[in-house]
Amino acid sequence: MAQKKALISGISGQDGAYLAKLLLEKGYEVHGTARDAQMSTFYNLQLIGIKDQITFHSMALNDFRSVLQVLDKVKPDEIYNLAGQSSVGLSFDQPVETLESISVGTLNLLEAIRFTGRSIKLYNAGSSECFGNTGGHPADEETPFRPRSPYAVAKATAFWEVANYREAYNLFACTGILFNHESPLRPERFVTKKIVKAACRIAAGSSEKLHLGNISIARDWGSAEEYVEAMWLMLQQDQPEDFVIATGETNTLEDFVAAVFEAVGLNWCEHVISDPSLLRPSEIMVSRGNPAKALQKLGWQAKRKMRDVIELIIDAEQKSKIEG
């Protein structure tokens, strides 16, 4: 069989890096895109030691001609759309950029696939944020969307674009509706990494206080390294379908904070300050996922839960301090 070719937009992010690693291990020829590939450092890919095994291309997802040119050049078998503004908090400050980068980028990929006429499979990165508040009920593939942030609105838009092209043009295109997934590669603007880095600094002697917003919110935290396997599995099916990807276990942010500080030998209550300035205009109080379909049809199930993920991130943080 000919070697499969995969194109990953957003390859420099957490998910893109772990997905690239997985695909290389499976024998793929991996191509990645950035707005300016010559200027990008691809730090995460360097960190996990795979940068030299990937071919990079400059591609502006909001420019249809740019997308079409890269697809025509690479001729991929599979495309993984992981690009776009990825922070819920930042989306309130940059709503236009968030909506455009996610919805227009996804539409350009779909239209370019249709235009080329090639049999390309597309994975689109969806988000559990689209569900909004479900009253504590676990969300599955049939749960209606009620987005509560510009980021969630953008992801919901992209989801329906994918569904429309799948039905209208018979494209193999699907969306993974992923619940929160973390790793050592998360940037510090994400609250999970912010908590771990602060706790490690305080444990090492810093007198700082950790400022957080609403810590009573509850989330389903899983491992990014495991979730990228679900992305790949979705494109190996005979028919394209959307899937909820989650652990099925929900914890409050207070639980997360307590577990992090406990892991470094501290009582979180002595080091955390509730900061009203960090509250969002609207918030999902409880996010809970039902990944039953993924287990049934993909054979995928999360092995790592919140405390396992915390351990991974703390180990990596402490190791980087020693090496640094």
| Per-residue pLDDT at 279 | 81
Give the model's pLDDT for residue 238: 97
DSSP string of 6-65, one letter each residue? EEEETTTSHHHHHHHHHHHHTT-EEEEEETTTTT---HHHHHTT-GGG-EEEE--TT-HH
- Which pLDDT tens digit goes with each residue over 50-87? 999 999 999 999 999 999 999 999 999 999 999 988 77
User: What would be the CATH architecture of the domain defined by 5-181+222-245?
Assistant: 3-Layer(aba) Sandwich (3.40)
Can you give the pLDDT at residue 2? 78
Show the tokens assigned to 207.
Answer: 């007198």
Residue 34 bridge partners (DSSP) = 58
Q: What is the pLDDT of residues 172-183, one digit of tens each?
A: 999 999 999 999
Please count the CA atoms within 13 angstroms of the CA of 73 that sit on its side-chain side.
15
129 included as an active-site residue: yes
Active-site pick, 129, 161, 182, 226: 129
pLDDT over 90 for what percent of the chain? 86
| Per-residue pLDDT tens over the stretch 274-306 | 988 888 787 889 999 999 999 999 999 999 999
* pLDDT for position 324: 55
Residue 323 has pLDDT above 70, yes or no: no
Question: What pLDDT was estimated at residue 102?
Answer: 95
Mean pLDDT of 206-212: 95
Nearest C-alpha neighbor of 151 from the set 205, 95, 226: 95
Q: 127, 128, 183, 223: which one is catalytic?
A: 127
Give the CATH number of domain 187-219+250-287+305-323: 3.90.25.10
Per-residue pLDDT reduced to its tens digit, 105-152? 999 999 999 999 999 999 999 999 999 999 889 999 999 999 999 999
Annotated catalytic residue 127: yes
pLDDT at position 319 over 90: no
Question: What was the pLDDT predicted at 312?
Answer: 96
User: Does residue 321 carry a pLDDT above 80?
Assistant: no
Q: Does the pLDDT value for residue 11 go beyond 90?
A: yes
Residue recorded with tokens 């696939």: 113
Mean of all residue pLDDT scores within the chain: 94
pLDDT number for residue 298 = 98
Residues spanned by CATH 3.90.25.10 within the chain? 187-219+250-287+305-323
Q: Which of 18, 28, 123, 151 is catalytic?
A: 151
Mean pLDDT of 78-97: 88
Q: What are the DSSP calls for 224-257, one per residue?
A: HHHHHHHHHHHTTSSS---EEE--S--EEHHHHH
Predicted confidence band of residue 160 (pLDDT cuts 50, 70, 90) = very high
> What beta strand segments (E) does 108-155 contain?
121-127
Active site residue 28: no
Asked if residue 17 has pLDDT above 90, the reply is: yes
Does 237 score more than 60 pLDDT? yes
Q: Give 224's pLDDT tier (boundaries 50, 70, 90).
A: very high
> In the chain, which residues fall in CATH 3.40.50.720?
5-181+222-245
Confidence of residue 322 (pLDDT cuts 50, 70, 90): low
